[in-house]
C-alpha cells in the first residue's frame, strides 16, 4: 500500500526545523525549572512587544484544553458560566473539562462557529430580566475562538461589538487562539495581536497547531486576572517542570516573523487546496478562509480521497453526504496536495 | 562571576542525548495525534514487558502533578480521601491539586517520608470504629512515592504489608514513581518493575526527572480502573496533541536498559557526593540512598557552597542549621562534584 | 388593596394540618439525630411497602436541588454527564448545581418537557459512533421528571422504552419526583410507585410541593448505588441534624393514603381551574394534566388576572402573548378559584 | 428498661415552644418562596439590629455544614485554602464538604480547639517566605468556631489579634456560630454580636443547636462578599423553598431576648452538670464553659452512667480512660440532671 498523504490535522508531525534547532542548541544548559528561566522571560518579552502590551502577563502552558480550563476556572465565580458557541471546543471536544471545574457552558446561537454580539446581548438581557435569575447560571465570561472550529474568523467590527457587550454586562472576554497563526494571516479580519490585546481580557497564542512541538502562550491583559495565576497553573497540572522548553519554542516563534510566516504558509496551502476542490466542483460546509477546509462530498468521493490521503470525517449530512475536514500545517507541501488530486 | 554548578534539581537540563536523537529522527513523520501512534504503542509494549504485565494499560502524560490528580480523581468515590505522608508531594507541592478534584488528603504519620503499614492500618481502624464515621472522610486509597520526597525508598517487605492493609480495608494502592529510575537502582529495596506490577493497583514511571524532556507513564494493573481512562486524561487537560513525543521518549528509555542506566548514574553520582559531604563531616537529614541528598549545614557553610553551586534550602532547623538539598541527574558529571568541593 | 389569591406555586403555605399535628405531638421527644431515629425508620418502611420494594434504601433530604445534585454526583463517573430535557430543572433552575459537582448536562431534544426513548437512543448512538468519543462527555445517566416542568407526565409505555435504552447503553435511570403526588394521581399514565421501583434505578418522592413543610425521599433501587450514600449526603450539606422532622412528615404522608389524596386534590383543583380557563377561551402552552397549568394570555388579560391573583409569567411568546403558570397545592380552595375568575 | 435521659447533643428534641407556636400561627398564610417573604425580611432586620450592623446582609440556611461549605466556597479563590484547627468541624465532621468544593483545609496548631493569632501568623509567614510558595496552597481565610468543638470560647483580646493577623495577610475571617447562643452567654469572653460584626467578615448564628427546628443565619459584613450570594446558596442546594420557615424561627429568636435566654439556660444547666461531676471527683478534658462538657471517666464509670443516660464517647485516652461528652440544650431540665446522678 502506498503511503497516504495526511491532512488529518495540524499536529501530525514534530516541529518546525528552527524550533528543533533551538532545542538542540540549548539541550545541555542548566536552568531553573517551572518557567523561571531566561528563555521564558525573553519569549514573554517578545510576545508582549508583538502585542504592544508591555503590561501584560504571559504564561506558557502545554496544551489548549489546559489553557481553557485554567483560564476559565481562574476567572469565573463559582456561580457563573461561560458563554460559547455550540461548536465551541470547550463545549464539544474537551470531555467536560470546564464542567469538571464546576462551571456550566452557556450555549448561545452561532453561525459557522461564530457568535454575534447581538446574540450574546440578547442572552444576557434574558438572564438579567428573568425574575428567577438567581436560580439560573449567571453569565460571567465570553469564550470565542480565532479561528473558530469551522475555520472562520471574527472581523474587527464584530470583536469591537462583542467587547461592548462584554462591558455592558460585566463579562470577561477570552479568545482561544489555538490556531491564531492562521487567523493572523487573514488580513481582511483586521485583527492583529495589538487588537487582541486592546479588545480582550485574556487570549491564547497557540503553538501546538502552529509549528511548535507543543505549547500555548496565555496573554493576560486585564490586571485583575493576573494575581496568583501560576498557583492555579500548578494546581491544574499545567506547570511544566522543564518550562524552558516552552520559552525556547516561543522565543523562536516570536524573535522574528516565524509565527506569522507559519500562519501564512498554512493559509497559502489551504488556499491552493480550496481552489483545487472548487475546480473539481466541490462545495464547502463553511467558507474556506483559514487552514481548515470543510469539504462536502458523497460516499464514493470520500472513499476515493481516502485511498490517497488521511483526513477526518466531521459529520454526515441528512442527505447522506459527508463533511470532511482537510487541514494544512507548517509542514504541508505542494507535492502532498498534488498527490491528493492525483487520479 | 563564575558559572556555578547546579544541583538544584533533576530537571534543570534538556534530555538525554539518545532521546534527543530519537526526536530528531522522527520529526518529519506524520502520525495520528493524542497517543494513537505507533511509538506510543511500542513504548507501551516495552513497558508492559519490563513489568511482566502484559494485561496492564499504559498511558503517557506530560507531568507528575497531572498524573497524581488524574489517577486519584479517577479512582476515588466522591466521599473518599487518599492516605498520604505529611511530606507527600500531593500534600505539599501540588497547590491543592487533589483537593481541587474534590478529595481530602488524609495525613497518616510517617518517618523520613515513609508510611508504614501499621500506621495506615491504625488509621483505617480508627475510621471504621468511629460511630460517626459517615460524617468523616472515608479512606479510599493509599498514595506512596518511590523514592519519597526525602529520597528514601520502601523495601519489598513493607510494600507487601501495605498491600495487605490495602486489601484488608478495600483501598487502592498507588505508587508515584516520579523518581522511579533512581529507586529501581537501589537493589536492596528488592522492588523492581514486576514487583510494582504485582503489588500495586496503579503506578507511574517518571520520565521528567529521569532523562526525558518531559513525560510520565501511568501503568494501570487493576482492571476495574482501566475503563475510560483516556476520557479522564482529556478532561484534565493531560492528553498531549502530539502524543507521539511521549511514545518516542519512553520507547527510547525502555527499548534497552537506558532507564535503568540513568537511575544507576544518578545514584552513583549521589553516592560520590554523599561520601564527599561525609568526609567533610556533614550529617544528613534523611539517609542518603537515592539521587536526592539532604545535607545539614550552618549558615556560613551554606553561603560558602552557594558561591560555587545552585541548590535548594528545604528548611531551617530549630537550632538555625539549614537542610539543603543536592540532586543529581542523568547529566550530572564528576567535574561538577569536583567544582562543588573546590576550596 | 384587596388580598390577592395565590397560584404562584405549590410551596407558598406551611404544611398539611395532619403533618403539623404530628410535629406538635412529637416536639418534646428526645431522639438521635441525622435520621437515625424511629420515625425515619418507620417512614422508610412505609415507603418501601408502598413501592413493593423491600430491598430499597430510602433517604430523606430537605430539598429537591439537594436531591438532584447528590444523586447525580454520587452516581456519575468523573468523565460522565447526565442526559436531560432542555427544560429539565437541573438544566435551568438549579444555578448550575450539577456542573458545580463536575458534570455536564447533555441536552437531548424534548417535547412538552418530555424526553423520548428514541431521542435518547439516537444521542447515545451518535456519541458511541463518534471516532473522537473519548474527547466528548460520556452519557452516564438519564434524568427525567414526573411530572415534568411543563406539568406533563410520562406514560408507562415510554418509561419502559426509556428503561430499555438505559440498559442498552449502560445508563442509570433517575426520576425526579418533586411533584410525584400530582403525577401519581394521573391514572392514565399507568405509573404508580411499584412501577417506578421496577423501572428506575433511583427516584425521589417530593414532599415540599406535596403538603410537607419540606423534604424529599430518595428511593434507591439499584444495589450498586446504595453504599456510603449517607456520607455523600453529609458532604453536600444535606444531612438534617433533627432528621426526625423528615421521618415524621413522610410517616404521616405514607401511613395511609395522605400523599395520594394530596396529589388528587391538587389535580382536582387544577382541573377546575383548567376548565374555567378553557371556558373563557384560553389556550394552554402545554397540555393541562397535573397541578401546573400554563395559560396563554395577552398583556391586558395578564394585567387583569394580576389584580386578583399572584402567579408567575414563564415566558413571552414571539407574538407578544404571555405564558402564565397557575399552580394548585394541597391547600388550594375552590373559593380561591372563584376569586380568580370574579369579574 | 427505664427511659434514659439524654445528653447526647443539643439537637435531640423538636424546637422551643415559642417557635412551634409561631409556626402554627402562620401555617396557612401564603407567601412567596425562597426567603423572599416578610418573615425573612423581619428576621433579617432584627438580626442586623442586634448586631448593630444595618449594612450587613443576612441569609438563612438550613444546616451548619451547608453554611460552612457555601461561605467558604463563595469566598476562596480556586487556589486558596482555609486555615482551621485540627478539631475544627470542617476538618473532621463534614465528610470532606470543603474539599468537595475544591479547597484544602490548612491545619494550624491549636489548644483546646482554639487557634491563636500567633500560630496563624507563623503559618502565613512560613507560606509567604517559602520560595516554592506558588506550588503550595495559599491561605485565604481563617475559620474559627465560637464555641469551639471542645466547648471553649475565644476572648475578645484574641479575636482582635486574629483580626489583625487576618488584615496583615489579606485573609477573610469567618466565625462558625453553630453554638453561638451558648457562647454569647459567657460574659467573660467579652464577645457579643456587635463585636462579631465589627471584627469578622462573615459569621453564622446557629439555630439548630439553639432552640430552632433547624436553621442558621449567615451574617455577611464585608461588602465584597455580598454579591450573588443567593445564587451560590441555590447552587449548593441550600435555598429552602418554604424559606419563611427560617424567617419565622429567627424572628421569634430575635424579636426579644429568646436567643440569649436559650444560651443562658444551656450554660446554666451545663454549670450544674459540671459542678455535680466535679463534686464526684471527675476531671474535664477541656475547661467546662459552655453547653458541652467533656468528662474523663473510666470504663466502669462510663458503663454506670450509660445505664441512666445517653451521651457520646468522644475518644479513648492512651491510659484507657474515656472522654465522654454531655451536652445541654434549651430543653434540658434539672430533673434530667438529677436522674443522671441518681445512684
Q: What pLDDT, in 10s, does the model give residues A177-208?
A: 999 999 999 999 999 999 999 999 999 999 99
Q: In what order do the strands lie in the sheet with B283-284?
A: B283-284, B292-297, B322-327, B312-316
Class of domain A5-12+258-340: alpha beta
Nearest CB to C237: which of D12, D24, D65?
Answer: D65
Burial of B293 (0-12, 13-18, 19+ CB in 10 A): buried
Q: In degrees to the nearest 10, what's the CA dihedral of B90, B94, B96, B101?
A: -70
- What chains are in contact with B, requiring at least 3 Cβ pairs below 8 Å? A, C, D
Contact flag D13-C27 (C-beta cutoff 8 Å): yes
* Pairs of CB atoms within 8 A across B/C: 39
Angle subtended at Cα D329 by Cα D323 and Cα D330, rounded to the nearest 5 degrees: 170
**pLDDT for residue D234 is more than 70:** yes
CA of D239 vs chain B CAs: smallest distance (Å): 22
Give D71-134 as a DSSP string. HHHHHS-TTEEEEEETT-HHHHSSTTHHHHTT--EEEE-EETTEE-HHHHHHHHHHHHH-TTGG
Flag if C137 and A95 touch (Cβ within 8 Å): yes
What are the grid coordinates assigned to D85, written together? 484547627
- Interface touch A241/B97, C-beta < 8 Å: no
Out of B78, B134, B228, closest to residue C74 by CB = B78
Contact A74 D78 (CB under 8 A): yes
Q: Which residues of D touch A (CB under 8 A)?
A: 34, 73-74, 77-79, 101-102, 134-135, 138, 228, 230-232, 234-235, 239
Facing residue for A234 by CB, picked from B29, B95, B237: B95
Instruction: Read off the C-alpha cell for B311.
Output: 541548590
The verdict on a CB contact (< 8 Å) between A136 and C105 is no
Pairing of strands C138-145, C80-85: parallel
C-alpha distances in angstroms, D92 versus B104, C241, D149?
11, 16, 10
C46 φ, ψ (degrees, to nearest 5):
-65, -40
Q: If you measure CA to CA, which chain C residue comes closest to D25?
A: C14
CATH class of A17-254: alpha beta
Q: Which of A66, A80, A90, A96 to mutate to test the interface with C (most CBs of C within 10 A)?
A: A96
Shortest Cα distance from D65 to chain A (angstroms)? 18
User: Could you read off the pLDDT of D220-231 as tens digits, one per residue?
Assistant: 999 999 999 999
**Interatomic CA distance for residues D255 and D259, integer angstroms:** 9
Using CA atoms, how far residue B10 sits from B307, B328, C343, in Å, is 20, 6, 85
Query: Roughly what angle, to the nearest 10 degrees, separates helices A17-26 and A244-254?
Result: 130
**Which residues in D lie closer than 8 A to residue A239 (C-beta atoms)?**
135
Contacts of A238 in chain B (CB under 8 A): 66, 237
Start-to-end CA span in chain D (Å): 16
The pLDDT assigned to B2 comes to: 64
B-chain residues within 8 Å CB-CB of C135? 231, 234, 239
Q: What is the mean pLDDT of residues D64-87?
A: 98
Find, in chain B, the residue whose alpha carbon is nearest to that of A90.
Answer: B235
Cell of D282: 471527675
Which positions in chain A touch C68 (Cβ < 8 Å)? none
Distance from C-alpha of B44 to C-alpha of A146, rounded to nearest angstrom: 36
> What's the pLDDT score for residue D2?
64
Mutation target to probe the B interface, by most B beta carbons within 10 A, among D68, D81, D90, D99 is D99
Q: Which residues are within 8 A (CB) of D237 and not within 5 positions of it... i.e. 6 or more apart?
A: C63, C65, C66, C69, C70, C97, C236, C237, C238, D66
Contacts of A92 in chain C (CB under 8 A): 135-136
Task: Specify the DSSP element, H or E, that contains A216.
Answer: strand A216-220
Contacts of B74 in chain A (CB under 8 A): none
pLDDT at A154 over 90: yes
Residues C261 and A331: their CA atoms lie apart, in Å, by 73
Q: What's the maximum distance between 2 C-alpha atoms anywhere in chain D? A: 65
Pairing mode, if any, of strands C202-206 and C172-176?
parallel
Which DSSP letter does residue B283 get?
Answer: E
DSSP states along B199-264: H-SEEEEE-GGGTSSS-EEEEE-SGGGTTTHHHHHHHTT---TTTHHHHHHHHHHHSSSHHHHHHH
Please indicate whether, in this complex, the C-beta atoms of C78 and B73 are within 8 angstroms of each other. yes
Q: Which three three-digit cell numbers place residue B285?
A: 537529614
Instruction: Give the cell for residue C31.
Output: 431522639
Determine the Cα–Cα distance for residues C164 and B46; give it in Å rounded to an integer: 43
Task: List the grid coordinates of D314.
Answer: 468522644
Which ranges of chain A would DSSP assign to H, the alpha helix?
A: 17-26, 38-50, 64-75, 89-92, 97-100, 117-129, 156-169, 180-184, 193-199, 229-235, 244-254, 258-279, 299-308, 334-340
Q: Which residues of chain B have pLDDT under 50?
A: none
Question: Counting every residue, how long is chain C?
Answer: 343
Average pLDDT over residues D239-265: 98
With an 8 Å Cβ cutoff, are B138 and C228 in contact?
Answer: yes
Phi, psi (deg, nearest 5) at residue C213: -65, -40
Please report which confidence band the pLDDT of residue D167 belongs to, taking 50, 70 and 90 as the band edges: very high
pTM of the model: 0.97
Euclidean distance between CA atoms C324 and B20, whole angstroms: 69
pLDDT of residue C342: 87
Q: Which of B292, B315, B281 is nearest to B210 (CA)?
A: B292
Task: Name the residue among A23, A70, A231 with its Cβ closest to that of B14.
Answer: A23
Best mutation site among A59, A133, A134 for testing chain D: the one with the most D CBs within 10 Å? A134
Kindly list the domain boundaries of chain B, sorted by start residue.
5-12+258-340, 17-254
Query: What is the rounded CA–CA span in Å between residue C131 and residue D46?
Result: 61
Contact A210, A263 (CB under 8 A): yes
pLDDT digits (tens, 9 = 90+) for A302-331: 999 999 999 999 999 999 999 999 999 999
The minimal CB distance from C99 to the residues A93, A94, A102 is found for A102
- CB atoms inside a 10 Å sphere around CB D127: 16
Beta carbons of A97 and B30 less than 8 Å apart: no
C-alpha R_g of chain A: 20
Instruction: Identify the closest residue of chain C to D68 by CA–CA distance.
Output: C237
Nearest-angstrom CA–CA distance, C158 and C161: 5
Judging contacts by C-beta atoms under 8 Å, the chain A residues touching residue C99 are 81, 99, 102-104, 137
Distance, in Å, from the CA atom of C94 to the CA atom of B46, rounded to the nearest integer, reads: 49
Chain A residue with minimum CA distance to D102: A101
- Using the beta-carbon criterion (under 8 Å), do D228 and A134 form an inter-chain contact? yes
- B292, B301, B298, B231: which is closest to B266 by C-alpha? B292
Taking alpha carbons only, the member of D125, D133, D115, D229 closest to residue D173 is: D115
Residue in A closest to D237 by C-alpha: A135
Segment D305-319, tens digit of pLDDT: 999 999 999 999 999
User: Is C236 close to D239, i.e. CB distance below 8 A?
Assistant: no
Computed from CA positions of residues C5, C9, C10, C14, in that sequence, does the dihedral angle turn out positive or negative? negative
For testing contact with chain A, the best of B236, B238, B246, B336 (most A CBs within 10 A):
B236
Task: State the Cα–Cα distance between residues B142 and B123, nearest whole angstrom.
Answer: 11
Residues B190 and A343: their CA atoms lie apart, in Å, by 62
- Closest alpha carbon to B87 in B103, B107, B104, B101: B107
Kindly list the residues from chain C whose CB atom is less than 8 angstroms away from the CB atom of residue B77. Answer: 228
pLDDT reported for residue D342: 87
Residues with Cβ within 8 Å of D308's Cβ and at least 6 positions away in sequence, in order, are D2, D4, D5, D339, D340, D342
Which residue among A95, A101, A104 sits closest to C79, beta carbon to beta carbon? A95
D146 touches D153 (CB < 8 A): yes
pLDDT band at A2 (very low <50, low <70, confident <90, very high): low
Burial of C226: CB neighbours in 10 Å, binned 0-12, 13-18, 19+: middle
B74 to C78: CB separation less than 8 angstroms, yes or no: yes
CB atoms within 10 A of CB C302: 18
Answer yes or no: do B104 and D92 touch at CB < 8 A. no
Question: Rounded to whole angstroms, how far apart are CA atoms A204 and A47?
Answer: 11
Residue the block writes with cell 394521581: C185
Q: Which residues pair with D284 in a beta bridge?
A: D295
DSSP 8-state secondary structure symbol assigned to residue D185:
T
Give mean pLDDT in consecutive 10-residue pieces for chain C, a chain of 343 residues.
86 97 97 96 98 98 98 98 97 97 98 98 96 96 98 98 98 98 97 98 98 98 97 98 98 97 98 97 96 97 95 94 97 95 84
Say if residue D178's pLDDT is above 90.
yes
- The cell for C269 is 383543583
Each residue's pLDDT tens digit, A236-266: 999 999 999 999 999 999 999 999 999 999 9
Q: If you average pLDDT over residues A170-181, what whole number do you get?
A: 98
C-alpha cell of residue C132: 473522537
Substitution target in A72, A229, A231 with the highest count of D β-carbons within 10 Å is: A231
Summarize pLDDT for A208-234 with one digit per residue, the tens: 999 999 999 999 999 999 999 999 999
CB atoms within 10 A of CB B334: 10
pLDDT of res. B3: 81
Find which of C13, C14, C179 to mutate to test the D interface (most D CBs within 10 Å of its CB): C14
Helical residues (DSSP H) of chain B, grouped into ranges = 17-26, 38-50, 64-75, 89-92, 97-100, 117-129, 156-169, 180-184, 193-199, 229-235, 244-254, 258-279, 299-308, 334-340
d(CA D116, CA D165) in angstroms, rounded, equals 10
CA distance A222 to A74: 13
Cβ distance C321 to C297 under 8 Å?
yes
Amino acid at each position: 500500500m502506498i503511503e497516504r498523504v495526511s491532512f488529518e490535522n495540524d499536529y501530525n508531525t514534530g516541529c518546525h526545523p528552527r524550533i528543533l534547532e533551538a532545542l538542540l542548541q540549548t539541550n545541555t544548559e542548566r536552568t531553573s525549572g517551572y518557567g523561571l528561566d531566561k528563555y521564558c522571560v525573553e519569549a514573554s518579552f517578545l510576545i508582549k512587544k508583538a502585542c504592544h502590551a508591555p503590561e501584560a502577563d504571559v504564561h506558557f502552558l502545554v496544551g489548549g484544553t489546559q489553557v481553557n480550563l485554567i483560564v476559565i476556572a481562574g476567572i469565573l465565580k463559582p456561580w457563573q458560566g461561560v458563554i460559547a458557541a455550540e461548536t465551541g471546543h470547550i463545549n464539544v471536544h474537551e470531555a467536560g473539562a470546564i464542567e469538571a471545574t464546576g462551571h456550566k457552558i452557556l450555549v448561545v446561537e452561532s453561525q459557522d462557529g461564530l457568535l454575534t454580539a447581538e446574540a450574546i446581548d440578547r442572552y444576557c438581557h434574558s438572564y438579567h430580566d428573568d425574575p428567577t435569575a438567581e436560580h439560573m447560571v449567571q453569565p460571567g465570561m465570553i469564550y470565542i475562538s480565532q479561528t473558530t472550529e469551522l475555520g472562520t474568523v471574527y472581523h474587527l467590527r464584530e470583536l469591537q461589538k462583542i467587547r461592548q457587550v462584554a462591558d455592558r454586562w460585566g463579562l470577561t472576554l477570552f479568545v482561544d487562539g489555538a490556531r491564531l497563526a492562521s487567523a493572523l494571516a487573514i488580513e481582511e479580519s483586521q485583527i492583529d495581536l495589538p487588537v487582541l490585546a486592546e479588545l480582550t481580557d485574556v487570549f491564547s497564542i497557540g503553538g501546538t497547531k502552529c509549528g511548535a512541538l507543543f505549547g500555548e502562550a496565555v496573554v493576560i491583559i486585564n490586571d485583575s486576572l493576573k494575581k496568583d495565576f501560576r498557583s492555579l497553573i500548578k494546581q491544574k497540572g499545567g506547570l511544566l517542570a522543564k518550562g524552558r522548553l516552552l520559552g525556547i519554542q516561543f522565543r523562536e516563534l516570536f524573535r522574528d516573523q516565524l509565527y506569522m510566516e507559519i500562519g501564512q504558509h498554512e493559509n497559502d496551502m489551504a488556499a491552493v487546496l480550496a481552489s483545487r476542490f472548487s475546480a473539481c466542483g466541490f462545495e464547502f460546509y463553511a467558507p474556506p478562509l483559514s487552514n481548515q477546509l470543510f469539504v462536502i462530498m458523497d460516499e464514493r468521493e470520500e472513499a476515493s480521497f481516502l485511498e490517497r490521503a488521511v483526513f477526518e470525517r466531521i459529520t454526515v449530512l441528512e442527505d447522506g453526504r459527508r463533511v470532511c475536514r482537510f487541514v494544512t500545517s507548517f509542514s504541508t507541501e505542494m507535492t502532498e496536495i498534488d498527490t491528493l488530486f492525483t487520479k
